[in-house]
Amino acid sequence: MSQTRFAPRVFSGIQPSGGLTLGNYLGALKRFVDMQDTGDFETIYCMVDLHAITVWQDPEKLRHNTRELAAGFIASGIDPEKSVLINQSQVPEHAQLGWVFNCVARMGWMGRMTQWKDKAGKNAEKASLGLFAYPSLMAADILVYHATHVPVGEDQKQHLELTRDIATKFNHDYGVDFFPITEPVIEGAATRVMSLRDGSKKMSKSDPSDASRINMTDDADTIAKKIRKAKTDPEALPSEADGLKDRPEARNLVNIYAAMANMSVDQVLAEHGGAQFGTFKPALADLAVAHLAPISTEMARLMDDTAEIDRILARGAERARAITAPILKQTYEIIGMVAPVEA
């Protein structure tokens, strides 16, 4: 089927289920800004509050976290004029198309999702039905815009494959070429930022150890201290990427440096190869502080005026619905829903 008729459109989302980490920033936010600024795409970015409630959220905290995440997007460089910035629950077509996709996706597909298996653990019986259906709503987030490209970190790859499966099955079952087969965009040195305490674990907001991650709201001293204390090995840095193969902690710090400095790993090693961590870590800390401190200051400033954040989100929802309402309407026509009588 021809996929050429779809205009280049980017969609991506982040859960407002706690603070942002350096992993979210390098794996997602910074790349969202880059894609916005190329001007090659229409860009739509989303706080996915309906995904967050697949596990219990304190209502007041969720509201706060959603606004703080919006502030994080804007402080990182998302311009709400250039991009459409939205909160998922304010654009009802996401959930409406999500239901349709619940009827397209198969139980077996959902059961194979590693994130479901990790999060539900041994106690799947007690997990919410929403957690199981999570990837189907994610497919709806993307496809309700006919988005063609989705920048994410490595951990979302399987969900994006499922999005392609849902689009393919829908198009096949109804004999249409209606939904695009979306391209995941998983690029750069930091698509999987690892814990600072354990190079085999992803940096995550849910890790019980705060020392394992850099939070976007950490102050300069905290950032420098966490990097100084990051787990490493006693060797000097190699001068070529190959030398990082069996050194996950060293590789992680070099990847972080590369992503933040907009350099390749080879370029970082050309500059720092042979250096001990006693030298490299302070250089990395300086870079991280220079990069993150202005963002966290701007986030705090934006959070002083939450009414303005709410206005930005209301405007974003209005712009989003100009895209999503017609796509949902066409979907309903395709699947045989009776259309409402025009007033």
Binding mask of the shown chain, residues 93 to 132, with x at each position contacting ligand TYM by CB under 6 A: ----------------------------------------
% helix / strand / coil in the chain, to the nearest 5? 60, 10, 35
89/51 Cα distance (integer angstroms): 10
Q: Binding to ligand TYM by residue 230, rule CB under 6 A?
A: no
Q: How far is the CB of 286 from ligand TYM (least distance, A)?
A: 22
Q: Which residues of 74-87 are buried (b: 16+ CB within 10 A; e: fewer)?
A: bbbbbebeebbbbb
Q: Binding to ligand TYM by residue 289, rule CB under 6 A?
A: no
Residue 205 annotated in active site: yes
Q: For residue 155, what are its two tokens?
A: 């951990």
**Quick one: residue 134, left, alpha or beta (phi over 0 = left, psi -120 to 50 = alpha)?**
alpha
**Quick one: residue 18, left, alpha or beta (phi over 0 = left, psi -120 to 50 = alpha)?**
left
261/188 Cα distance (integer angstroms): 12
With CA atoms as reference, report the closest residue to 116 among 93, 102, 104, 132: 132
Q: Which of 193, 196, 309, 312 binds ligand TYM (CB under 6 A)?
A: 193
* Count of residues touching ligand TYM (by CB under 6 A): 26
Q: How far is the CB of 157 from ligand TYM (least distance, A)?
A: 9
Q: Which residues of 128-167 are buried (b: 16+ CB within 10 A; e: fewer)?
A: eeebbbbbbbbbbbbbbbbbbbbbbbebbebbbebbbbbb
222/289 Cα distance (integer angstroms): 10
Q: Which of 76, 87, 90, 156 binds ligand TYM (CB under 6 A)?
A: 156
Query: Directed axis angle between helix 277-303 and helix 248-261, to 10°?
Result: 50
**Positive or negative CA dihedral for 111, 116, 117, 121?**
negative
Q: Which of 61, 82, 169, 205 is catalytic?
A: 205
Residue 313 makes CB contacts below 8 A (sequence gap 6+) with 70, 85, 86, 87, 90
Residue 126 annotated in active site: no
Q: For residue 266, what are its two tokens?
A: 């080879």
Q: How far is the CB of 243 from ligand TYM (least distance, A)?
A: 22
Q: Binding to ligand TYM by residue 203, rule CB under 6 A?
A: yes
Q: Which of 61, 82, 119, 169 is catalytic?
A: 119
124/117 Cα distance (integer angstroms): 8
- Choices 36-44, 70-78, 155-163, 215-223 (CB under 6 A): range interacting with ligand TYM: 155-163
- Choices 98-106, 134-142, 262-270, 335-343 (CB under 6 A): range interacting with ligand TYM: 134-142
Q: Which of 71, 133, 150, 230 binds ligand TYM (CB under 6 A)?
A: 150
Q: Do 56 and 290 form a contact (C-beta atoms < 8 A)? A: no
By beta carbon distance, the residue nearest ligand TYM is 27
Residue 119 annotated in active site: yes
Hey, which residues does 263 pair with through a beta bridge? none
Q: Binding to ligand TYM by residue 251, rule CB under 6 A?
A: no
Binding mask of the shown chain, residues 14 to 33, with x at each position contacting ligand TYM by CB under 6 A: xx-------xx--xx-----
Binding mask of the shown chain, residues 39 to 78, with x at each position contacting ligand TYM by CB under 6 A: ---------x--x---------------------------
- Choices 13-21, 168-176, 257-265, 305-313 (CB under 6 A): range interacting with ligand TYM: 13-21
Give the nearer residue to ligand TYM in terms of CB position, either 187 or 308: 187
Give the nearer residue to ligand TYM in terms of CB position, either 116 or 280: 116
Give the nearer residue to ligand TYM in terms of CB position, either 138 or 269: 138
Q: Binding to ligand TYM by residue 153, rule CB under 6 A?
A: yes
Positions annotated as catalytic residues are 119, 202, 205
Residues that bind ligand TYM (CB under 6 A): 11-15, 23-24, 27-28, 48, 51, 138, 141-142, 150, 152-153, 155-156, 159, 190-193, 202-203
